[in-house]
Chains A and B, each alone.
Chain A
Amino acid sequence: MIRNANTDLLAGSIGMGLSLTFWFSIDREIMRLSIMFPKAMILIMALISVLLLIKGFMKAERQNLFDVGSNLRVAVTGLFFFTWGVAIAYLGFFVASVAAIFAMTGYLATARRQLNLSVLAIWLFIVIGEVAFFYLIFTQLLHVPLPEGIFF
């Protein structure tokens, strides 16, 4: 929870940051045709950011950020998602997904109810079924090769 944050200042800074990042990663040797549009866009973005920064100092729009529900849950969910994405490359789609979904379901459920071993066992069963369903449809029916890891 961040109280009374100056959202204009924040937005403006992010905009400036992006403008500078993009500007300084322009290849010196790139041809004019390829870069004229992005250059114009970067300038426009920087301009808007400056305007936002100015507004932030004069008539700032203030808001409470991250004030709904549990931010810890959001952060952990995010962590789970990223780990899942990376794990797919190493553990393969099936294993990574079963692990990630099971862990996430269990974690998110702690907000609503008590967990016990039998409930978790049932859920593991459901999760494996769910992932298997999608896995089979995509690999067998649709011929989309899903990444295989050290198991399968």
Chain B
Amino acid sequence: METFFLALAELADPAIILIVFAGVSAGLFVGAMPGLTATMALAVLLPFTFTLTPLYGLVALGAVYMGAIYGGSFAAILVNTPGTPSSIATAFEGYPLSKQGRALEAISVATVASAIGGIAGVLFLLFLSPPLAKLSLRFGPSEYFWVAMLGLTLIASLSEGSLMKGLLGGAIGMMLGTIGVAPIGGETRFTFGMPVMQGGVEMIVALIGLFVLPELYNMAAQGRTALGEVTVDSKEKASFWSVVVRVFSKPGNLIRSCIIGEIVAIIPGAGGNIANLVAYNEAKRASKHPERFGTGVIDGLVATESSNNVTVAGSMVPLLTLGIPGAPPDAVILGVLLLHGLRPGIELFTTSGVLTYAFIVSMGLAALAMVPVGLLGGRLIYRIIFRTPYYFLVPTIGLATILGTFALRNSISDVIIMLILGTAGYLFKQIGIHPPPIVLGLILGSIAEVGYVQAMLGGAAYNYPILRLFENSLSWVLIVMVVFSAAWPFLMGVYRRMQLRRGSKENEK
């Protein structure tokens, strides 16, 4: 207890406040740029933290991380391109809102939701670390496989239009993921004779290509952006208090999304990328009007932006307690901890307790700081994007995209791959194969493969190695969820048909 209060005292330092605001702003900027991701921002910030004290360095990293995950929503809302992978689903509702002239409202909602999510994550980290850490360890190869399967059932609900085409997209994404070195076996696959293809298709490269480029092509085709001018009515709705009221009026949605964010966050390797998609799906399922989703439903936006910010502090549960990074940015933070001689584990909470608690609480501060920074910055960014003619916007976003892609692995080949995938993505969109299933397939494909093959190896001593997939109780929990999730659309269809029949029968009377 005492350490906690000492930690709070540490934070009363004006330098900390400055670092938090600067970090959140920088993170916001990086996250908003399609092509620049949170992990990149942290990796780049790393050398600078050497010159700062451990606390300042960690606070800076936490603030940037929090800001970046939030910032991704800006690009998603204003330009239909996720600024970071954790905002993929934000565009589903955010962009239609922009087109209807409700961009400011969307930005305000995203801001408040992100702040709440960030604080929720910090609370989870502070109070529930030990049990959550134990839960995270129970995820072994079989569980990863079933989690991937669960993720794949999302393809069905995320498919705009034809289910078959959505599945095809998912399959294409999985095939793209197999290019390069096999995670098991270490041999190279599908390199078509080019050594550079040993590196495979990096997920961010595909994300940027498949989401950003088609949008740029669309703008080129139409000769304009699709941002609608914000109406006076919408401006009122975008005010801070009305948004807060709106978000809290649906507490179920909020609580559910935060919990989903936390669960996904503690599964090392899944991270924020999937959290927003799962939360969105669940919000859609729980809604009374799921068919409205995709036209600008605020609840969907709340779900995605709150869940992804939970993962910032949430994914640090395994990191701080066990030294296992829950998401890629955590690996950078782990590096910083080790470099300063801080080892994850009990020690971190006892000997270095003041530092650790101060760091954790600072992320909560960062979440709060996002509100003023975001609301002001949001208005500014909106005005800039709205006033900028499309013929400046397209090449400039292209620049950010190319820079971001290149900076990932210092590779021009990645840039070319991104352009090829992007152009293919635009063509695919025309015939009804959309980007989200492809990217989902890419992310989940490797998780599924690794889980499957490792589980099989684990069962090498059995007669039927595949039984290993059905051995653990946690696996069974997941299997039930998979079956339920896959069957849901059919069940809903049957249920609705029954409703209709009952309704028409009553009418006949």
Direct A–B contact present (CB less than 8 angstroms): yes
- Spell out A's residues near B (CB within 8 Å): 5, 7-8, 10-11, 14-15, 18, 22, 25-27, 30-31, 33-38, 41-42, 44-45, 48-49, 51-52, 55, 61, 63, 65-66, 68-71, 73-74, 77-78, 81-82, 84-86, 88-89, 93, 97, 100-101, 104-105, 107-109, 111-112, 130-131, 134, 138, 142-147
18 A–B contacts, CB within 8 A, in A order: A8-B162, A11-B433, A15-B168, A25-B190, A33-B184, A41-B174, A41-B178, A73-B221, A82-B419, A88-B412, A88-B415, A101-B396, A104-B391, A104-B395, A112-B389, A130-B396, A142-B407, A145-B410
- Which residue of chain A has the shortest Cβ distance to B396 in the bound complex? A130
Q: How far is the CA of A13 from the CA of B400 in the complex (A)?
A: 34
Q: Are B189 and A48 in contact (CB under 8 A)?
A: no
Q: Are B392 and A61 in contact (CB under 8 A)?
A: no
- Rounded to whole Å, the gap between the CB of B28 and the closest CB of chain A is 16
Residue B223, interface by CB 8 Å: yes
- Which residue of chain B has the shortest Cβ distance to A5 in the bound complex? B431
- Which residue of chain A has the shortest Cβ distance to B400 in the bound complex? A134
- Rounded to whole Å, the gap between the CB of A117 and the closest CB of chain B is 17
Q: How far is the CA of A105 from the CA of B389 in the complex (A)?
A: 10
Q: Are B402 and A69 in contact (CB under 8 A)?
A: no
Q: Are B172 and A34 in contact (CB under 8 A)?
A: no
Q: Which residues of B contact A97 (CB under 8 A)?
A: 399, 402
Q: How far is the CA of A127 from the CA of B113 in the complex (A)?
A: 36
Q: Are A74 and B217 in contact (CB under 8 A)?
A: yes
What 1/0 mask marks residues of chain B from 154 to 189 whose CB sits below 8 Å from any chain A CB?
A: 000000001011011001101100100010111101
The segment from B59-67, B262-270, B445-453, B486-494 that touches chain A is B445-453
Q: Are A134 and B221 in contact (CB under 8 A)?
A: no
Q: Which residues of A contact B385 (CB under 8 A)?
A: none
Q: How far is the CA of A93 from the CA of B47 in the complex (A)?
A: 24
Q: Are B402 and A45 in contact (CB under 8 A)?
A: no
**Shortest Cβ-Cβ A-B pairs, 5 listed:** A34-B185, A69-B221, A108-B391, A34-B182, A45-B171
- Which residue of chain A has the shortest Cβ distance to B218 in the bound complex? A68
In the complex, besides A48-B167, A68-B221, 6 extra interface pairs with C-beta distance below 8 angstroms are A30-B189, A31-B187, A33-B184, A34-B185, A82-B416, A84-B402
- Rounded to whole Å, the gap between the CB of A84 and the closest CB of chain B is 7
Q: Which residues of A contact B217 (CB under 8 A)?
A: 74, 77-78
B interface, size bucket: 35 or more
Q: Are A33 and B389 in contact (CB under 8 A)?
A: no
Partner of A105, one of B186, B189, B392, B433: B392
Residue B423, interface by CB 8 Å: yes
On whether A130 and B399 interact (CB within 8 A), knowing A73-B221, A86-B416, the answer reads yes
Most buried by B among A26, A55, A85, A144: A85
Q: Are B391 and A34 in contact (CB under 8 A)?
A: no
Partner of A48, one of B164, B186, B224: B164
Chain A residues touching B, majority SS? helix
Q: Are B171 and A34 in contact (CB under 8 A)?
A: no
Residue B216, interface by CB 8 Å: yes
Q: Which residues of A contact B165 (CB under 8 A)?
A: 7-8, 11, 52
- Which residue of chain B has the shortest Cβ distance to A111 in the bound complex? B223
Chain B residues touching A, majority SS? helix
Residue B44, interface by CB 8 Å: yes
- Which residue of chain B has the shortest Cβ distance to A100 in the bound complex? B395
Q: Which residues of A contact B407 (CB under 8 A)?
A: 138, 142, 144
Residue B398, interface by CB 8 Å: yes
On whether A34 and B186 interact (CB within 8 A), knowing A15-B168, A104-B394, the answer reads yes
Q: Which residues of B contact A22 (CB under 8 A)?
A: 175, 190
Q: Which residues of B contact A36 (CB under 8 A)?
A: 453
Q: Which residues of A contact B395 (CB under 8 A)?
A: 100-101, 104-105, 108
Q: How far is the CA of A82 from the CA of B418 in the complex (A)?
A: 10
Partner of B412, one of A27, A61, A89, A144: A89
Q: Are B168 and A48 in contact (CB under 8 A)?
A: yes
Q: Which residues of B contact A134 (CB under 8 A)?
A: 399-400, 403
Q: How far is the CA of A71 from the CA of B410 in the complex (A)?
A: 33
- Rounded to whole Å, the gap between the CB of B406 and the closest CB of chain A is 7
Q: How far is the CA of A71 from the CA of B433 in the complex (A)?
A: 19
Q: How far is the CA of A52 from the CA of B171 in the complex (A)?
A: 13
Q: Which residues of A contact B386 (CB under 8 A)?
A: none
Q: Are A108 and B171 in contact (CB under 8 A)?
A: no
Q: Are B412 and A33 in contact (CB under 8 A)?
A: no
- Rounded to whole Å, the gap between the CB of A81 and the closest CB of chain B is 5
On whether A34 and B168 interact (CB within 8 A), knowing A63-B432, A68-B218, A89-B412, the answer reads no
- Rounded to whole Å, the gap between the CB of B66 and the closest CB of chain A is 20
Q: Are A85 and B221 in contact (CB under 8 A)?
A: no
- Which residue of chain A has the shortest Cβ distance to B445 in the bound complex? A41
Q: Which residues of B contact A89 (CB under 8 A)?
A: 412
Q: Are A70 and B223 in contact (CB under 8 A)?
A: yes
Partner of A37, one of B213, B392, B453: B453
Residue B477, interface by CB 8 Å: no
- Rounded to whole Å, the gap between the CB of A71 and the closest CB of chain B is 7
Residue B139, interface by CB 8 Å: no
Partner of B220, one of A14, A35, A38, A108: A108
Most buried by B among A68, A81, A107: A81
Q: Are A18 and B184 in contact (CB under 8 A)?
A: no
Q: Which residues of A contact B476 (CB under 8 A)?
A: none
Q: Are B449 and A51 in contact (CB under 8 A)?
A: no
- Which residue of chain B has the shortest Cβ distance to A77 in the bound complex? B220
Q: Are B171 and A48 in contact (CB under 8 A)?
A: yes
Q: How far is the CA of A41 from the CA of B220 in the complex (A)?
A: 35
- Which residue of chain A has the shortest Cβ distance to B422 in the bound complex? A81
Q: Are B391 and A52 in contact (CB under 8 A)?
A: no
- Rounded to whole Å, the gap between the CB of A99 and the closest CB of chain B is 11
Q: How far is the CA of A89 from the CA of B213 in the complex (A)?
A: 21
On whether A68 and B222 interact (CB within 8 A), knowing A49-B168, A109-B391, the answer reads yes
- Which residue of chain A has the shortest Cβ distance to B441 in the bound complex? A41
Residue B4, interface by CB 8 Å: no
Q: Are B430 and A65 in contact (CB under 8 A)?
A: yes
Q: How far is the CA of A66 from the CA of B214 in the complex (A)?
A: 12
